Structure 1
Amino acid sequence: MERTGSIDKKTSLFMLTWPIFIELVLQILVNNVDQIMISRVSENAVAAIGNVNQIMNVLVITFSVVTMAATILVSQYLGSKRYNKISEIYSVAVFSNLAFSIVISIFLFLFSDSIFALIKLPMELLADAKLYMNIIGGGIFLQGNFMTYAAIFRSNGLMKQGMYISAMVNLINILGNFILIYGMFGLPKLGIAGVAISSVVSRLIGVIVIIYMFKKKIKGNVSMKYMFPFPKATFRRLMVIGLPAGGESISYNASQMVILTFVNMMGTNIVKVRSYVTILAWFTYMFASAVSQANQIRVGYLMGAGEEEEASKMVLGTLKPAVISSIIIAALLFLFSDSLLGIFTSNKEVLQLGKLVLFIDIFLEIGRAFNMVLVRGMQAAGDIKFPIFIGILSMWIIATFLAYIFGIGLGWGIAGVWIAMMLDECIRAVIFYIRWKKGTWRNKALI
């Protein structure tokens, strides 16, 4: 089998980053465009979608456990020029996420009422949230499939394919929203149901296209023949890598669910503030996330080739563009917050609180940029367990516990919640930076 992509220490970080960045922005827009477009019909629907998206983010992390492990493992195999078992890894990743998605869909169908009660969703949001989650949850297997194939493309150094397909998915989603929300071409006005249906249909088309491109572009196969007899060793290896590597994200999103419960206790206006600020905050750290993902693949190749010193320099060199971009974008969002938040609402209380939270978010994003680059670097190097250990401690003891103390106990509201999350990100950033500089991650390559 020949290598499909070509990544080494001479590969430009920018050339790997910009397609991932655009792809991530476009993927996020599928959900955020839903909220922006439905805001013209109902502000409550925006808050309902925001709650459902937070729930879905926790569950979708299940897919990232497999995709992250496959990315790391394939990158190191390709970096060491060992091409055996690549097709088996692809197949196990795809079919494992398909199985997980079926379990998640059943879970959402059976326990949606319990989930909404657990996070204390305001009653006026319940009907919209249930309708949206039932439709989106039924199509969650599409998201799992797309994430898996996109990870395979990235591991092979092919970044642009995911970007092109995400652009197509967004255009289809926007067109579908216009048609189904407003009842164009004689169709009924479906409102929030139309938004959900449009998202599912656009993702279905995206999955069909990315599977077709995989068959054309990637040297390797996804086939059931690799699943019989079941490759226990490969699945176990993906889980050994993926569960701790994905554990940091799982812990973060689970803690966010608890924090969301605190926010829901503060009233519908505060829920709206969180939903709107979260939409804007996505754009702050998308570039840092893209940089960290691109660098993770480069580090994986270098670790596979035994070039640890070069990997160390790459991670430290990646911090600067990630942090600077986050500061600039977060500052711009704060400066233009009235206009940006005005896209969603004219409520003065929401606008004032949103502006305050976006100011605090500037400092939060500095810590988050450090964490994304350093954690992904450690994962690619095989230093899997330390980030999840520190992440669990910090996210729950600092972010979650202090969010309750500051937000509810001291009465600081949504600002107190954001201060707690900012402290969590910044404290972890210091710990991870010290660990990387000390070189504790060395000699931990996975193959």
Structure 2
Amino acid sequence: MKPAHKPMPQSRVLDKGIWGMSRPMFLDQAVTYTIPLIDMYFLSRISDSAAAAVGAITPLVFVANAFLIVSAFAGASIASQRIGANDYLRGNATIAAYAIFVVVLALIAALAVNHGGPWVASAMSLSGEVEQHARTYLSIIGWMVALWGCRVIYQTILNIYGEPQWNTYSNIILFGVNIIGNAIAVYGFMGIPPSGVVGVAIASIVAAGASLLFVVVIVHFKLRIHIPLHEGWKNFSVLMAPVLMIAAPSVLEPMSFQAYMIALNWIAAEVGDLALKVKVYAYNTFLFCLMISIALGMATEAIIAQRVGRKEFDLVDKQLKQSLKIALIGTTTLALMWLVFNQSILKMFSNDPEVIAIGVWAFALSFLAEPWRTVNIVVGGALRCAGDATFTSVSSIAVIWLFSVPLAYALAIPLGFGLYGLLIAAILDELLRALIKGWRWKQGKWMHTGIAAREARAA
């Protein structure tokens, strides 16, 4: 008598719904966005220059991370659409294909950051001490990017199968190891001397490795999800074709946005070291507000992708409106708390009275950008996971480089508004891109861009 086969794990996304999927993701994102604040705090214990240096070039690391994250999430949206249509064989094969793709990209990204990053830091208008810290950090941190890229593969697998709580535990491990490593790097421990910026970078790599190991064990040994790598490799080009139709345009928008952040930091450095420090403190603090919109956005994408696979378009539209309403209320409330307690927050990082004085207005202007940024994240993610990526990405890139960057430079330097000019330009950038994404969703083109609709037209 043959032993009975263990049934294939089934996705629980639609059973859990928006609250079941998003609850663990809130904590997941809270931990993720606390990490830059923790790093900034420990770096500020070294000096304001160390914190400003790493803050100034952090967008370069985010560019590499975004490159990997968007590629993985594009693959996940196609896999989710197939699983939503109950085609688990092709869904899992798609996961295998994009996993292979992302691992290769992760190695390329690591080498690019480690070897190209110091050159970028030299090209920015940073003062001598700030530039040296930035070059040191970038020459090491690329390996964290590679480990993060491998980890995001498993993050998407857990989201596809409706098990996002394991990503939360992974992030708690990341957070704990990162704090311990940072503390050792800055203060030393049991005969280990302080290692400054080098130690902070190494702590990030060790933390990323520990969290990756955890999700690998969960996916393969706890949940026993089988990823057919042989099938993914054998049919790589066929499986990746629809993924690249989403990934190719989608990856350009976050990369373009982070390049925009680097451009703003360059302009801030032109204004002066004080403007750069305040900009870094305000921007990194308000990054924490993204945890709500990103958590809801990720949960919404998982649900929408499966519903698009089932052609339940009315439910898709209803889901987006519900998610956007919740995200706007939550993000605005959190951003308002940051604005109210801006003095206490700034004093955690700096004792410079000029930084604290200017920071009040920097926080106020950053607050005004948050609702529009929320719309960009939630609606933009919904458009991409439904397959409508090209217009969304191209329009956003056009706004950034034809409108926002020239405006930021003109307001900051020729017109003399300095840091405030940069932040005003950032508000208008988020506003214009949000209006375009909202208009595109209402047009309904996304109903005809999913994998099922494309394959039906091809047939």
Instruction: Tell me what 1:116 maps to.
Output: 121
Q: CA deviation at 1:3?
A: 4.4
2:193 to 188, 193, 197: 188
SS in structure 2 opposite 1:376? helix
Deviation digits for residues 70-128 of structure 1, max 9, x if unmatched?
22112111111111223332222222222112222222333334211333232221221
User: d(CA) in 2 for partners of 1:54 and 1:99?
Assistant: 22
Given that 2:57 and 2:262 are in contact with CA atoms closer than 8 Å, whether structure 1 keeps it comes out as no
Q: CA deviation at 1:364?
A: 0.6
Instruction: Tell me what 1:434 maps to.
Output: 439
Instruction: Tell me what 2:335 maps to.
Output: 330
1:5 aligns with 2:11: yes
Q: CA deviation at 1:26?
A: 1.3
Distance 1:119 1:148, change over 3 A: farther
The runs of 5 or more residues in structure 2 that have no matched partner are 1-6, 453-459
Instruction: Tell me what 1:319 maps to.
Output: 324
1:257 aligns with 2:259: no
How many correspondences in the alignment? 446
Amino acid at match of 2:350: T
Instruction: Tell me what 1:267 maps to.
Output: 272
User: d(CA) in 2 for partners of 1:227 and 1:79?
Assistant: 19
1:103 aligns with 2:112: no
Q: CA deviation at 1:228?
A: 4.5
Instruction: Tell me what 1:364 maps to.
Output: 369
Amino acid at match of 2:187: Y
Distance 1:144 1:198, change over 3 A: same
Q: Within 5 Å, which residues of 2 pair with 1:37-56?
A: 37-56=42-61
Instruction: Tell me what 2:457 maps to.
Output: none
User: d(CA) in 1 for partners of 2:339 and 2:368?
Assistant: 12
The runs of 5 or more residues in structure 1 that have no matched partner are none
Deviation digits for residues 360-413 of structure 1, max 9, x if unmatched?
122211111111111111112221112112101211223211111111121111
1:415 aligns with 2:420: yes
1:214 aligns with 2:219: yes
User: d(CA) in 2 for partners of 1:3 and 1:295?
Assistant: 22
Moved more, 410-419 or 128-137: 128-137
User: d(CA) in 1 for partners of 2:42 and 2:292?
Assistant: 24
Q: CA deviation at 1:11?
A: 3.7
User: d(CA) in 1 for partners of 2:436 and 2:236?
Assistant: 38
Q: CA deviation at 1:217?
A: 4.4
Q: CA deviation at 1:230?
A: 6.1
SS in structure 2 opposite 1:186? coil
Given that 1:21 and 1:286 are in contact with CA atoms closer than 8 Å, whether structure 2 keeps it comes out as yes
1:19 aligns with 2:41: no
1:380 aligns with 2:385: yes
Instruction: Tell me what 2:400 maps to.
Output: 395
Amino acid at match of 1:128: H
Instruction: Tell me what 1:159 maps to.
Output: 164
Aligned-pair RMSD on alpha carbons? 1.8
User: d(CA) in 2 for partners of 1:37 and 1:278?
Assistant: 17
Amino acid at match of 2:279: R
Given that 1:394 and 1:424 are in contact with CA atoms closer than 8 Å, whether structure 2 keeps it comes out as yes
Q: Within 5 Å, which residues of 2 pair with 1:24-103?
A: 24-103=29-108
User: d(CA) in 1 for partners of 2:79 and 2:320?
Assistant: 19
Q: CA deviation at 1:218?
A: 4.5
Given that 2:9 and 2:225 are in contact with CA atoms closer than 8 Å, whether structure 1 keeps it comes out as no
Q: CA deviation at 1:425?
A: 0.9
User: d(CA) in 2 for partners of 1:42 and 1:400?
Assistant: 30
Deviation digits for residues 16-53 of structure 1, max 9, x if unmatched?
11211211221233333121122122111111111231
SS in structure 2 opposite 1:40? helix
Amino acid at match of 1:255: Y
Deviation digits for residues 338-378 of structure 1, max 9, x if unmatched?
00011001212211222112111222111111111111111
Instruction: Tell me what 2:210 maps to.
Output: 205
Given that 1:331 and 1:359 are in contact with CA atoms closer than 8 Å, whether structure 2 keeps it comes out as no
Given that 2:118 and 2:138 are in contact with CA atoms closer than 8 Å, whether structure 1 keeps it comes out as no
Deviation digits for residues 228-248 of structure 1, max 9, x if unmatched?
546112233322221112222
- Identity rate, percent: 24
TM-score, structure 1 length as denominator?
Answer: 0.95
Distance 1:51 1:248, change over 3 A: same
Given that 2:63 and 2:259 are in contact with CA atoms closer than 8 Å, whether structure 1 keeps it comes out as yes
User: d(CA) in 1 for partners of 2:12 and 2:111?
Assistant: 40
Distance 1:71 1:184, change over 3 A: same
Given that 1:69 and 1:242 are in contact with CA atoms closer than 8 Å, whether structure 2 keeps it comes out as yes
Given that 1:120 and 1:264 are in contact with CA atoms closer than 8 Å, whether structure 2 keeps it comes out as yes
